[in-house]
Amino acid sequence: SKIPSYDAVLKYCLKFADMYSSMQSYKHIPCNLREKKLYGWASQNIDKYPMIKPNEFCAASGSTLGIFVLFAAGYNPNINEQSIKKIVSAYFPWICGFHILLDYFIDYYEDIKDNELNFIEYYKDENVTLSRMKLFMETSLQCANGLKYPVFHKTIVYGLVSMYLSDPKARSGKLYAMSKSIMDSNGVKLKLMYSLCLKLRKTLKI
């Protein structure tokens, strides 16, 4: 391998890949079975993550960000096990979970209309949705601060918020007020990146 620390990061990448494939497999079985199967699978694996709920565990499992970041970290020939574990615990469940919750957040109305599974739907109401989204964002940023190259990892978090919440779908119905609250809870860097994403979408018509 051309990645100096490939062997050191591989087992964690395989674990992420296993969770991803399991979640996707259960998610795409018939509608009358998928919720029970997904919930059962999540319940068997969630003990290590007492701060999150089964729908959030499933969401975090649906992100491949952790794999990409670990392979990037593997280019450091001197990375140690402790540093790798810090990356793993920052990305799973927090940054990975936030990534996919944002994705399901903007697709909420489409998924409900099309009878598709949506992990945001499992929250009781808008207040719970907003508090959980903010918890994931705040914890993601705190975890990013504790990693080597914190600016890089925080930029990923800010980039996720900016990319997803600049989508026109994030301004539809009840999502608009929640999107605004998420944006308002952070500082100038996030708002600048959000503005850039809005301009890109307008220029590229996306």
**Do the domain assignments include residue 185?**
yes
Residue-level pLDDT at 191: 92
Domain count, the chain: 1
Dihedral of CA 14/20/24/26: which sign?
positive
Dihedral of CA 146/149/155/156: which sign?
negative
Residue 77 carries which DSSP code? T
**Do the domain assignments include residue 89?**
yes
Measured distance CA(171)–CA(31) in Å, rounded: 28
**Do the domain assignments include residue 17?**
yes
pTM score over 0.85:
yes
Segments forming the whole domain that contains residue 51: 6-204
Among 119, 70, 120, residue whose Cα is nearest residue 90: 70
Using CA atoms, how far residue 104 sits from 9, 133, 166, 176, 190, in Å, is 29, 11, 14, 14, 20
Q: Print pLDDT tens along the chain (206 aa).
A: 599 999 999 999 999 999 999 999 999 999 889 999 999 999 999 999 999 999 999 999 999 999 999 999 999 999 999 999 999 999 999 999 999 999 999 999 999 999 899 999 999 999 999 999 999 999 999 999 999 999 999 999 999 999 999 999 999 999 999 999 999 888 888 999 999 999 999 999 88
Measured distance CA(163)–CA(184) in Å, rounded: 16
Residue-level pLDDT at 206: 85
- Cβ-defined contacts of 170-174 (< 8 Å, 24+): 170/105, 170/106, 172/109, 173/109, 174/126
Token pair for 40: 């059962």
**Do the domain assignments include residue 1?**
no
Measured distance CA(161)–CA(29) in Å, rounded: 30
Query: Which residue's structure tokens are 């996707």?
Result: 24
Query: Is the bond into 30 cis (omega within 30 degrees of 0)?
Result: no
Exposure on the CB side of residue 129, measured as CA atoms within 13 A: 22
**Do the domain assignments include residue 58?**
yes
